[in-house]
Structure 1
């Protein structure tokens, strides 16, 4: 079994955003475990504005959580 997420703490907001994207990707991979199906579905949502907005919302929600965990990088 691979090591999972151990912390939400990051050095910079940019690293926090990258972590938010990674969490979003992992969420999709956990929900749809078949990589071939994920790849087959990608063209349909890649050209759907509503799907892209939904993805942005998920990433933003993860980033909000990470930013709070990092005290909004007030160091």
Structure 2
């Protein structure tokens, strides 16, 4: 079972796909850390699901996380 306190054992991933999946996980964990009430997050989901600007903002967060992971992996060279 994953230790909730150590959900990022490493930024090193075998492939860019794994790196992207980690970036999404990090973005989701960040949102959960900012808005700690799961019921409020669930309620707000419909708001951002229908708002192009909020969806783009979410994609930008994932992209920034992925950029960090790619750099940590020497861009998988």
Query: What's the TM-score bracket when you normalise by the shorter of the two chains?
Result: over 0.9
TM norm structure 1: 0.94
> What are the ranges of 5 or more consecutive residues in structure 1 without an aligned counterpart?
none
Distance in 1 (CA, whole Å) between partners of 2:30 and 2:18 is: 18
Q: Does 1:66 align with 2:69?
A: yes
TM norm structure 2: 0.92
Runs (4+) off by over 6 Å: none
Root-mean-square deviation (CA), in Å?
Answer: 1.0
Count of equivalent residues: 74
Distance in 2 (CA, whole Å) between partners of 1:61 and 1:2 is: 23
